[in-house]
A and B are shown apart, each in its own frame.
Chain A
Amino acid sequence: MKHMTGLLFFLALLWWVLSGYTKPLLISLGIVSVLFVAFVAHRMDVVDEESHPLHLSLKLIRYWLYLLGQIVISNVKMVLIILSPRPDINPRIITVRTAQRSELGKVVLGNSVTLTPGTVTLQVEGDMIEVHALNDDSAKDVEQGTFDQRVPASIEEKS
């Protein structure tokens, strides 16, 4: 029920933000479409804690801010590598064990690793992730598992 309320709220907010209409007729049409989408989502049985991780909204925002900082840092490193006369690249494929237990945690970790330039997730299998790293520096970042520790731990919990 909590997830359904959240879904309705987000859909209504999204509808209004994307349309910006204030006329009663259009708003009532919007309400009808929001209810229809919620009904379809309910029939598809996709309204659960995986699609709507409400319980970690705040922690997720803090993680995003940290991630944005990391993205900026590794972008600057990448720009320096690209523009240097002899690029310091030594690509290798490394395999690291992740502390994430849940599927969602692994997806968040894999996407974070891919988002930071210099590392790309190639494969996630079991609790091992395979990463292509551009040079020693970026490989070290993944091996130390800083992202792994930063992914909100409560992503594991089922609400």
Chain B
Amino acid sequence: MDILQILSAVLLGLGAILGVVGAIGILRFPDFYTRMHASGITDTLCTGFFIGGLMLQFGMTLASVKLLLIFMFMLFTCPTATHALAKAARHGKLKPWTRADADAGLSNEGRVS
């Protein structure tokens, strides 16, 4: 095991942990909009760690350049998809969860106003 292999393993492990954390966030957060923030972790840093770890595996080859391109495309497409979802929810008049409503004992999970 040389140093690159260890570093690559660390990055892949961190990416996996972040993926799990993102999933926990999606389960724990109260409504659609807040869950989108949790999925942002898997979109960005989790993917980044995975791609970084895989690039270390391949070294200075064309495969690494392709992985970097995939990462760049992810950085363009992920926010677009997230925005499309959020806008669709907004047009569908899905009411965002707020702290005040929750304190008043109203659970408005998925409620359409």
B37 surroundings in chain A (CB, below 8 A): 78, 117-120, 134
Complex Cα spacing A122 to B22, Å = 21
Q: Mark B19-60, 1 if CB is under 8 A from A, else 0.
A: 001101100111101101110110111001000000000000
Kindly state the interface size class of chain B when it binds its partner.
35 or more
Contact partner of A110 among B45, B78, B83, CB < 8 A? B83
* Least CB distance, A131 to chain B, in whole angstroms: 10
Number of interface residues of A (CB under 8 A): 33
Complex Cα spacing A146 to B87, Å = 24
Contact partner of B21 among A14, A79, A115, A119, CB < 8 A? A79
A100 surroundings in chain B (CB, below 8 A): none
* Least CB distance, A71 to chain B, in whole angstroms: 5
Contact partner of B34 among A18, A91, A121, A122, CB < 8 A? A91
Contact partner of A116 among B18, B40, B90, CB < 8 A? B40
CB pairs A–B below 8 angstroms (7 shown):
A82-B25, A93-B96, A111-B76, A117-B37, A120-B40, A120-B83, A120-B86
9 nearest A-B residue pairs (beta carbon) = A117-B40, A114-B79, A82-B25, A75-B45, A111-B79, A90-B99, A134-B37, A20-B62, A115-B79
